[in-house]
Amino acid sequence: MNVGPGGKQPKMHPGRLPNGDPQPMVFNDGTPKGLEIVLRECGVMVDKLKRADVIKKLQEFEDLRNEKSSVQIYLEGKHHRCLFNPKFHPELNPIEKCWGKAKAFARVNCDYSMEGLCRMVPIALDTVSLDLIRKFFRKCRDYNHAYLRENVPGEEGAKTGRDADIKIKEYKSHRRVSSST
């Protein structure tokens, strides 16, 4: 969303003002309102605020913080769950592990020409077996559980990737991360 109204920006779903009244995110003509106007309607003074500060102010409002993306709405409409991984956490994304395995194979077997690379990439991707992909998914699931342990009363979740590594290596069960770690 732009700071000012109009321009090229996504059209968001209506939200709720702090008093509970509906808050449309577009003007009557369909033009998006922009961050400043949305915050002013919520009673926040936004004069001389930078874009990052405006975004922080918007995140204080629960309805905007919990806004679903159009991709999420579409998938949930088809009875699927839509889960987004946090940024900069490749250990939570199984495709990163698959791609890493394929790149390792390609590095060893490629002649480092463009033609050789184009020929090698499909072969490298085919070397990642379905069984290995399933293992990557299980490993990523375990990392997700290690991070999410903070949501369990009396337990502390991993705060960093290193903490998650320790929790994963310490777990007792071969099926899941133990609640005692």
Summarised one tens digit per residue, pLDDT across range 19-46 is 878 888 888 888 888 778 888 888 877 7
Q: What is the amino acid identity at position 166?
A: I
Secondary structure (3-state) at 17: coil
Rounded-to-integer distance, Cα 106 and Cα 61, Å? 48
Please write the tens of the pLDDT for every residue from 91-148: 788 999 999 999 999 999 989 899 999 999 999 999 999 999 999 998 888 887 777 6
Q: Residues with Cβ < 8 Å from 57, sequence gap 6 or more?
A: 39, 44, 46, 49
- pTM here is 0.51
Q: Residues with Cβ < 8 Å from 82, sequence gap 6 or more?
A: 71, 72, 75, 76
- Copy the structure tokens of residue 106: 């390609």
